[in-house]
Amino acid sequence: MARLVIVSNRVAMPRERLSRAGGLAVALRESLGQHGGLWYGWSGEVSENPDPAPRRIRQGRIDYAVLDLSPEEHKGFYLDFSNGILWPLCHYRLGLIDFRRSAWESYLAVNARFAEQLVAQLKSDDIIWVHDYHFIPLAAELRRRGVQNRIGFFLHIPFPAPEVLAALPGHDRLVRDLCAYDLVGFQTRGDVRALTEYILHESDGTVLGNAGSEDVRISAFGRDLRAGAFPIGIDTAEFASLAAAEAGSDETQRLSESLVGRSLVIGVDRLDYSKGIPQRFEAFHHLLGSRPEHHGKVTFMQIAPISRGEVAQYRKLRNELDGLTGRINGKFAEFDWVPVRYLNRAFARNSLAGFYRHAKVGLVTPLRDGMNLVAKEYVASQDAADPGVLVLSRFAGAAREMKGALIVNPYDTEHISDALHRALVMPLEERRQRWESMMAVLNVNTIAHWRETYLAALQAEGGPQMLEAAG
């Protein structure tokens, strides 16, 4: 059986606690554990003179190989290009981009360096699965070095429409490099369509399969490849049982007592401008301003650990949210009720599951999001006998599947505020129906299903020496 090689920007090393690392890291480690494999990527460390060869650790059937970045690479590849240019571009925030050719060059150079070091680790029948926007050019760099292996790519964030992508100098090189993969996986068929349209209108390529479908064959830049939608899921059963077990935990009890019978609305995100957090605060502000019946009856808890604190846009967002919290609480709080609880810290997954279960409303309002796993985790954590309501942005990939949510336009404050009201007063029967329809999807589209479907598709693109069964 062929070996699986996973490449991702951050590698969850064996000593890292997966209770905080999240479901994706667990799922990837599981697939490596099943088949034996290599996990390759950035160590998360920056060092003055990085060792050119990767540091290797072996645990069980998994080899880990990681490289450090130099301070210049960390700035150019990671901060300036990946997070400062590609992230806002893919989230349709062109106004936040400050393009610098040096950052682009650093991005390409780091991909070339990572490819160079990976070649030395590869066996001829390895199957390679590259994750996310940091490493789009990796396959092209591997091909340049003679690698013929099956190489798949999965983009966790949205793929922008061609008009948006074209704002990036070098967009043609980026898409050409994307076509060096054998299978390009996206979260939704909208992302597949965006790539298809780019190929048809911005390149000389051709596409087999209709542009609106979720599975196409592309012929472009001298290569044939497949692109498809593989919506990522969560470990639904695990989340449900974590949440049920947490219902009686000290932490959940303390949360419950602190609410003294008030309804809880919960938001959980990395502190990121794509998540629409200020819009959510504004909507809650509007709810309290327009419907006094909720005064003293509802608490909004936003959990948002600081992420990418070195990037200026993220510092700006923090200031904005600090201000909004103060404004709403200053205006509406009573001596015995604080409407907004705003926490800049991470919680273990079991704690989050308990909090989700206790919340009457899960408020998820990204302006753009590849999928949004929080929406799915919230639903999986609910009590079947008395489930809460998911309020979900139409611009999250999850909205394609979570049809039982109250779908909102995050740019429309009053729309979110109306949905919040509707969720808070929704009768049990309707809550149950909506929740059951979403659970039916989550029970099928689990993270294991995602991984197996993707690997089976990648395998199907390959020769007989690929993985025997992806699961």
Q: Which is nearer to ligand ADQ, 158 or 162 (CB)?
A: 158
Q: Which is nearer to ligand ADQ, 268 or 420 (CB)?
A: 268
Output the smallest distance, CB 369 to ligand ADQ, in A: 4
Closest separation between CB of residue 303 and ligand ADQ, Å? Answer: 4
Q: Does the annotation count 449 as an active-site position?
A: no
Give least dist CB 58 to ligand ADQ, A.
27
CB of 304 to ligand ADQ, least distance (A): 7
Task: Identify whether the C-beta of residue 37 lies closer than 8 Å to the C-beta of residue 62.
Answer: yes
Cβ proximity to ligand ADQ: between 110 and 268 the closer is 268
Q: Catalytic: which of 68, 126, 235, 369?
A: 369
Residue 86 in tokens: 């590609």
| Marked catalytic residue, from 156, 286, 294, 358 | 156
Which of residues 190 and 305 has its CB atom nearest to ligand ADQ in the complex?
305
156 as an active site residue: the answer is yes
Catalog residues that contact ligand ADQ under the rule CB under 6 A: 22-24, 156-157, 232, 268-270, 303, 305, 346-347, 352, 369-374, 377
Using CA atoms, how far apart are residues 127 and 158, in angstroms rounded to an integer? Answer: 25
Query: Residue 439: how many CB atoms within 10 A of its CB?
Result: 18
CB of 368 to ligand ADQ, least distance (A): 9
The 10 Å Cβ neighbour count of residue 299 is: 21
For CA atoms 336, 337, 343, 348, the dihedral sign is positive
* Closest distance of CB 137 from ligand ADQ, Å: 20
Q: How far apart are CA 130 and CA 175, in angstroms?
A: 15
Q: Which two tokens stand for residue 308?
A: 């990418």
**CA 332 – CA 311 distance, rounded (Å):** 32
Is the Cβ of residue 24 or residue 174 nearer to ligand ADQ in the bound state? 24
Query: CB of residue 345 vs ligand ADQ: minimum separation in angstroms?
Result: 7
H helices present in 39-119, as ranges: 71-73, 87-90, 101-119
Query: What is the layout of strands, in order, in the sheet containing 406-408?
Result: 340-343, 298-303, 263-268, 361-364, 389-393, 406-408
Residue 15's Cβ-count burial label (10 Å; 0-12, 13-18, 19+) is: exposed
Distance of CA 249 to the CA centre of its chain: 28
- Sheet bearing 37-46, strands edge to edge: 55-59, 62-69, 37-46, 4-10, 127-131, 150-154, 183-186, 223-229, 215-220, 206-208
Residue type, 448: A
Residue owning tokens 């100098």: 169
Closest CA to 33 of 3, 10, 8: 3
For ligand ADQ, which is the closer residue by CB, 111 or 372?
Answer: 372
Q: Which is nearer to ligand ADQ, 19 or 290 (by Cβ)? A: 19
Q: Which residues are catalytic?
A: 156, 369
